[in-house]
Structure 1
Amino acid sequence: MKPDEIRKLDAYLKRTFSSADIKVKPLPKQAETAEVYVADEFVGTLTKDTDEGELSYHLTMTILDIDLE
């Protein structure tokens, strides 16, 4: 993802979840994917998708059962 996309996604997630601790980091070898962190903990991936000319981003977050205890 381009730096301006990363900045916009970072700002959107911080605003949406009311948390300044969220960080979006690009993956250099995967142009359409970025990682999402809360503080220093990895929480998920953002994937860019273009379907029928419409651009969207998908956030995938895995929650382990041990994290729920």
Structure 2
Amino acid sequence: MADITLSEVKRLQITLQRLLGSPKLTVNKPARKGMSVEIAVAGEVVGTVHRDEDEGEVSYAIHMTVLEEDLPAE
């Protein structure tokens, strides 16, 4: 798996903000090599981004976690 460049991080952030309608969403490059790129909303990490390159085509998979304690009461 290749590392995500700073240019890709910026472009992903713009695209995800537009697609999800949230200007508070940020894509954060990790401080150290080998760590996950994180997606945050208003500073709270909600998921990770993984880059895949296959036969010259690049794609990004997003894994998002929602804790049950964050769901509204029934």
| TM-score after normalising by structure 2 | 0.82
Distance 2:16 2:7 in 1: 14
* Structure 2 residues not aligned, in runs of 5+: none
Distance 1:2 1:61 in 2: 21
Is the counterpart of residue 18 in structure 1 residue 21 in structure 2? yes
Deviation at 1:50, TM superposition (A): 1.2
Matched length: 68
Greater strand percent: which structure?
1
* Structure 1 residues not aligned, in runs of 5+: none
Identical aligned residues as a percent: 38
Distance 1:51 1:5 in 2: 17
Match of 1:30 in 2: 34
Deviation at 1:29, TM superposition (A): 1.6
| TM-score after normalising by structure 1 | 0.87
Distance 2:34 2:15 in 1: 21
Which structure's CA Rg is the greater one?
A: 2
Match of 2:64 in 1: 61
Deviation at 1:4, TM superposition (A): 0.7
